[in-house]
Structure 1
Amino acid sequence: MSEVVMMRLKAGFRKPDLVILAIVGVLLLLWAVDSPQALESAAFTLENLWWISPFLLASVVIAGYAQASGADSLIAGVFKGRVVSMIFLAAFFGGLSPFCSCGVIPLIAALLAMGVPLAPVMAFWLSSPVIDPAMFVLTAGTLGTGFAVAKTLAAIGAGLLGGFFVHAVAQGGFLRDQVKQGAGCNTGCGSPLARAGRPNWAFWQEKERRGRFATSALDNTLFLGKWLTLAFLLESLMLVYLPGDLISQVLGGSGVQPVVLATLVGVPAYLNGYAALPLVAGLIGQGMQPGAGLAFLVAGGITSIPAAMAVFALVRVRLFLLYLVLALTASLASGLIYNLVV
């Protein structure tokens, strides 16, 4: 197993990695123009990596165990022929799961590695980052129970929209082979995996399976680790250089336009979900439409730039663009519908 790990590490050092070069380049440039902020951004990145490490470790172990034991074929088989029901389950479970927009990425990588179809994965991907139990309580306390319920329904609705749309589009082969090579697996991602023989749950008893586990664990750790590092680094810069006052000025007003602007601004303008609540509450108190606030929170939760970068690392451009379109559509629809209901 150690030989496999060493071979993977040597292969990684033989060619430059653009993601790692980008991380180093951003830090060096930031050090040259604002050295105190460079230190703060580095600390922020390390703190968030430490926070997300349990999720990352869990996904790496789960994906590695599934591949090494041969359980991935069984897991994929559970989803075969039941895509519609799994879309519903994924959307509802995603709305209740305790994952943020970046925290969900390791789990998504593990699901893709097991050969779970894209439709339920997309449903979970879109619904999970918007709301969780703790966020529901804080949203209810800050913006009211009705707003918290609307946000939960918007999360589930986004998952259902994305899941069923991807399922329909995939029938024509438009989304075939849209998971990048090495994004959580080595072969067969996005389609049921087929391995000969029965799974060996005690995979560590076989040398070949131990090597497969080591290869999967190392590949996933390096792949997800570098992308999440870059994502958190950029997040730290957004929190500093994207002032809340600017967002307040853009999102003010009435009519349909604020909802559209809130949706568009929410995509790139990352705000921590908890930190965004008082900002949105203040804007609504100043006369902004509640629907615009909801659209901003939904769009920001699903497709902030750090989260979108992590998605881009896992899938090809076609599916990535579809992911953005679905997120924008779901966010805009949730805001407009909430304004009509309220």
Structure 2
Amino acid sequence: MSTDLSVSARLKRPDWFWHLGLTASVALWYVAYTQLIPLSEWITSLFPVDRHSHTGEAIAFFFYDVPKVMMLLTLIVFAMGVVRSFFSPERTRAMLAGKREGVGNVMAAGLGVLTPFCSCSAVPLFIGLVSAGVPLGVTFSFLISAPMVNEVALVLLFGLVGWQVAVTYAAFGLIIAILAGWVIGRLHLEGWLQDWVRDIHSGASVPAAVEGERLTMVERYKLGIEAVREIFGRVWMWIILGIGIGALIHGYVPQDLMLQIMGADKWWSVPAAVLMGIPMYTNAAGVIPIVEALLGKGAALGTTLAFMMSVIALSLPEMIILRQVLTLKLIGVFVGVVGTGILAVGFLFNLLF
């Protein structure tokens, strides 16, 4: 009984309590964020290693980036959880259904940035878009941009390697999503969907009242908190794994070796980076620390971006999931078109920078 009363009391807290609590939480977040460097240095000093040795560099990198990425992820996932309350899957389908290719590709790619769907959500979202009558090419633009150019990738890139790289990544990620979706749409490959997906009624209606339109701000805060619990619970282990790999690269991998593999003067560096990225299973938050470490070791910008894009947009686990709705031929076209775009980005930026 007491537990029920406690839950009821929490649910009935006044709006001002939530607004004040959110303001205080953001202030505490900022104070803690400014202390991450001293914290990492203090933790590193507890280990019996030379701070400037390979091991010391790796330890400092790890204990600085883990809380940094976790804090950035928590903040941005909460914010986008609130934003997502304005963009439910029903509204997404409603906005895209009936749009022409071209305009629809641009809209779909843009919505992919605003809606934080990871590759784990690709199958149900793909089915939902197809069932609403969204053209196949438009759907692929969303499918590409949602994991590749999501808010986590952009914010973490901005925080870790600067706004120039973040803007570059966003611009060319959107270009790839738009053009790849448009090309796939022009090929008219609807017949290459799995039979059960193709048989879904393409004229399915969209609910007139979209869920989330009449939510209060406190209710949206609660959705943001729930998004943190759900997404953070799924990705935290991959963040730590990615940061661990990044720490090893940062601390141990010789710079000469990294330049041989991912140097701008090697024509095969970009294809090699893409091939290395495909078997990996992580997301934007997990791959960012690896990207930071690679750039710090002197890897070319274009090669590094190509690696990141392949990890996020062409991962083998995602292909396994998509196999449930796409035939192998359509998956091959998807990989070929997106892979070509990623290679073009890598070669272009290695040429320009």
Superposition TM-score tier, normalisation by shorter sequence: 0.5 to 0.7
Aligned to 2:309: 298
For 2:111, the aligned partner's letter is F
- Pick the aligned partner of 1:182 from 155, 174, 196: 196
3-state SS of 2:196 partner: coil
3-state SS of 2:192 partner: coil
Distance 2:287 2:139 in 1: 26
Aligned length: 232
Distance 1:285 1:148 in 2: 16
Equivalent residues of 1:178, 1:316 under 8 A apart: yes
Cα shift readout 1:223-278 (whole Å, capped 9, x = no counterpart): xxxxxxxxx9xx98xx69x9666998684433232222111211222233222212
3-state SS of 2:148 partner: coil
Distance 1:276 1:165 in 2: 28
Between Structure 1 and Structure 2, whose CA radius of gyration is higher? 2
* Pair 1:163 & 2:181 matched: yes
- TM-aligned CA distance change 1:98 to 1:341, over 3 Å: farther
1:194 Cα deviation after fit? 7.3
* Pair 1:87 & 2:139 matched: no
Aligned to 1:264: 275
* Pair 1:316 & 2:330 matched: no
- Pick the aligned partner of 1:254 from 246, 264, 268: 264
- Pick the aligned partner of 1:331 from 331, 336, 342: 342
Equivalent residues of 1:91, 1:159 under 8 A apart: yes
- TM-aligned CA distance change 1:278 to 1:166, over 3 Å: same
* Pair 1:125 & 2:139 matched: no
Equivalent residues of 1:136, 1:148 under 8 A apart: yes
- Pick the aligned partner of 2:292 from 276, 281, 285: 281
- TM-aligned CA distance change 1:188 to 1:140, over 3 Å: same
Aligned to 1:154: 172
Equivalent residues of 2:98, 2:133 under 8 A apart: no
TM-score by length of 2: 0.56
Equivalent residues of 2:138, 2:181 under 8 A apart: yes
- TM-aligned CA distance change 1:142 to 1:180, over 3 Å: same
* Pair 1:96 & 2:114 matched: yes
Distance 1:335 1:114 in 2: 35
Structure 1: tracts of 5 or more residues without a match: 1-50, 203-231
Aligned to 2:130: 112
- Give the RMSD, CA atoms, in angstroms: 3.7
1:298 Cα deviation after fit? 0.8
- TM-aligned CA distance change 1:96 to 1:324, over 3 Å: same
- TM-aligned CA distance change 1:131 to 1:80, over 3 Å: closer
Aligned to 1:48: none
3-state SS of 1:314 partner: coil
Distance 1:316 1:304 in 2: 17
Cα shift readout 1:172-229 (whole Å, capped 9, x = no counterpart): xxx132221334x8x246xx3379xxx9979xxxxxxxxxxxxxxxxxxxxxxxxxxx
1:322 Cα deviation after fit? 0.6
Aligned to 2:28: none
Equivalent residues of 1:90, 1:121 under 8 A apart: yes
Equivalent residues of 1:299, 1:331 under 8 A apart: yes
- TM-aligned CA distance change 1:302 to 1:139, over 3 Å: same
TM-score by length of 1: 0.58
Q: How does 1:39-78 map to 2 (within 5 A)?
A: none
